[in-house]
Amino acid sequence: MDSHIEHIQDQEKALEAIRHKLALLPDLPGCYLMKNREGTIIYVGKAKVLKNRVRSYFTGSHNGKTQRLVSEIRDFEYIVTGSNMEALILECNLIKTHMPRYNVLLKDDKTFPYIKITNEQHPRLEVTRRVVKDKAKYFGPYPNAYAAQQTKKLLDRMYPLRKCNVMPKEVCLYYHMGQCLAPCVQEVGKGTYEDITQEITRFLSGGHEEIKKELQRKMEEAAEELNFERAKELRDQIINIDALMEKQKITMADARDRDVFGFSVDKGWMCVQILYMRQGKMIERHASIFPFYGDAYGDFLSYVTQYYSDNPALPQEILLPEPHREAAAEPGPSGEEEADKPPVESEAGSLVAENAAVYSTSAANLEAETEADTVLEGGVEASGGAASLQEWLGVKVLLPQRGLKKQMVKMATDNARVALDEKFRLIARDEERTSKAADNLGQYIGLDSVHRIEAFDNSNIQGANPVSAMVVFTDGKPDRKEYRKYKVKTVQGPDDYETMREVIRRRYERVLKENLQQPDLIVVDGGKGQISAAVDVLENELGLFIPVCGLVKDAKHKTAQLMVGDPPEPVRLPRDSQEFYLLQRIQDEVHRFAISFHREQRGKSMVTSKLDSIPGIGEKRRKLLLKHFGSIKKIKEASVEDFRPLSIGDKLAARIIEALNEEEPS
């Protein structure tokens, strides 16, 4: 109770300090950093006007996600920048540095694969997720590793660059297959490599149709010369190109490289869809789904900024949705109402799939659309960062107002909405199956329903730090607020049966005293002995008649059998049934919870014994040392001077360091 009052007082004190700081905020662009009570940065944002944006967090009503963020804020800092573009870049760098828990986080170099032509004397092709400034040529990003690997596989067949990482002393199979120039044994001129690199660059930049025609001509020549083996190789290459480019259904007449973005938000989640258009053809798409806590459009732009922060393969145009279309779909910090949403298609793949519609328009119309969109660059700037993105990247960033470009953005947005809808429908379906599994489990063991299951597991190593844990599953789903931990008090040594008796007694005495909800089923980890111990305490000591079942594990420590009854008998439960999977999840979860609690207690006891054995160190000083240094390792590495701020003299400090660094006897 006292700690709760202290928490409220601490919150009120922090909010009072925040109110004073809010009055000093400038009318300038910049970034703000929200901090929790420990001083950890939990959210980074940018603003065109810092005063208005930061104040919006502490005024008005918010949605559940934003309210959760605001409830943890105890302080904030801000950094004024010279322009919106500087704020955009600074926000991106601050997010990457501090990795705040409430920001949208994207690790570009670990998310998307690229095809790379290495900058070496004898270059080679490779697929990489690590982008560095090494003068190599990068192509991509590809939406997934499979797409990148398939493209590289085709290029390896067509262009004879070396395939080995380390140069061998003699030619390999690739040379005999015509897929390597064998620089290991013969001189290959720089001009040859430049020609091959240009061909690959042309192919990856969309010139595959010209290359296909060239291959067709060579194939016909080989056939006329009766070189049918070579003709077959060339035919296979043409087939491979057709197969690789088969998905390019949506086309634009001007053959430009574009990234088309759309996003949708619902129930505190955001989905961002990217449609990749290369040489006017849509080749792939990529979707990311993640929780968000701030302003919808602001977090969307944060995602886009991080995506391009290390991207060496920029398109010629970036198309973004208008802010008012999706930003209002879920209230932001200023508490906007949720906008009406159009009906959602049920099939996620129906909008951009293999049988997607073919869009096309003339180059003249596209140019007119681009001019119309460019006229609105003032609007782009007002959208909260798109114009800054354009200035930073040196690439056109447009918010299409009409025509095919707007249709493409709408397609990306529709796909994002459908992907979110599918996510929630899958969750609902899983919940329905799980709830049904819980009901069926009751039928297997002769119960009308098993709405609430409480499961127990014990953990100790040779009797040291014995603990037990209880998890609760309601309608087949974990209810983590109801989990409980127990330090075993009365049992000496590794006695699993007596430990079970103590914990069952303590749990259900409290259930009776406080009139708590009783479970429909109790699950214990073990067989007949554990079941009998639990039933004995429940019925003979507490007068409770709650069904108890046991989960027996096999030699590989996996759930093997369900036992129930008095005396306990095995229940024939199909190993591939949803009911059996539910029991496995329950047993794995309670075991995980018990093990983590045991490790925590064991770690505390080791720390306690090490420090408490040093003369002059009591409980108060031990807590002070651990709070100040953070760990035993840091205390070991400290100097005598580091202890002075804690009012610990040099003599005692030296004794602490010496005691902790003494080697333990073998």
- Structure-block tokens of residue 406: 């707007």
- DSSP run (H or E) holding 41: strand 41-47
Q: Are strands 452-461 and 477-478 parallel, antiparallel or unpaired?
A: unpaired
Torsion of CA 611, 617, 623, 624, to 10 degrees: -120
Examine the pLDDT at 168 and tell me if it is beyond 70: yes
CB 560 within 8 A of CB 538: no
Average pLDDT over residues 346-362: 40
Strand, helix or coil for residue 316: coil
CB 507 within 8 A of CB 542: no
**4: Cα within 13 Å, side-chain hemisphere:** 1
**CA distances (Å), origin 231, targets 122, 219, 245, 332, 394:** 28, 5, 21, 62, 45
Which is higher by pLDDT, 388 or 338?
388
Choose among 607, 609, 526: nearest CA to 568.
526
Return the ∠ at Cα 17 (arms to 13 and 23), rounded to 5°: 150
**CA distances (Å), origin 304, targets 261, 385, 585:** 9, 10, 38
**Per-residue pLDDT tens digits for 112-133:** 678 888 888 888 888 887 777 7
Examine the pLDDT at 108 and tell me if it is beyond 50: no
Average pLDDT over residues 344-368: 42
What backbone torsions phi and psi does residue 189 show, to the nearest 5 degrees? Answer: -70, 155
**CA distances (Å), origin 590, targets 139, 584, 595:** 48, 10, 9
CB 201 within 8 A of CB 155: no
**Per-residue pLDDT tens digits for 277-317:** 876 667 677 888 888 887 888 888 888 888 888 666 788 89
Fold of 1-105: GIY-YIG endonuclease (3.40.1440)
Kindly report the average pLDDT of the chain as a whole number: 76
Note the Cα 597 to chain centre separation in Å: 26
**Per-residue pLDDT tens digits for 545-576:** 999 998 887 766 566 778 887 777 888 877 77
Examine the pLDDT at 204 and tell me if it is beyond 60: yes
The pLDDT assigned to 324 comes to: 57
Choose among 633, 10, 601: nearest CA to 625.
633
Give the whole-angstrom CA distance, residue 353 versus residue 251: 14
The pLDDT assigned to 331 comes to: 43
Give the whole-angstrom CA distance, residue 35 versus residue 76: 6
Q: Boundaries of CATH 3.30.420.340 in the chain?
A: 450-577
Give the whole-angstrom CA distance, residue 280 versus residue 258: 8
CB 116 within 8 A of CB 136: yes
CATH code for the part of the protein at 607-662:
1.10.150.20
Average pLDDT over residues 362-385: 46
- Beta-sheet strands, E only, within 340-463: 396-398, 452-461
The pLDDT assigned to 349 comes to: 40
Q: Boundaries of CATH 3.40.1440.10 in the chain?
A: 1-105
Examine the pLDDT at 364 and tell me if it is beyond 60: no
**CA distances (Å), origin 390, targets 88, 319, 573:** 11, 11, 61
**CA distances (Å), origin 321, targets 45, 161, 262, 532, 580:** 20, 42, 6, 64, 47
- Structure-block tokens of residue 139: 């192509």
Find where tokens 């009797």 sit: 463
Average pLDDT over residues 68-95: 85
Note the Cα 607 to chain centre separation in Å: 34
Fold of 450-577: Nucleotidyltransferase; domain 5 (3.30.420)
* Cross-strand pairs, 47: 30
* Cross-strand pairs, 612: none
Q: Boundaries of CATH 1.10.150.20 in the chain?
A: 607-662
**CATH class of the region 256-324+386-433:** alpha beta
The pLDDT assigned to 403 comes to: 82
The pLDDT assigned to 139 comes to: 75
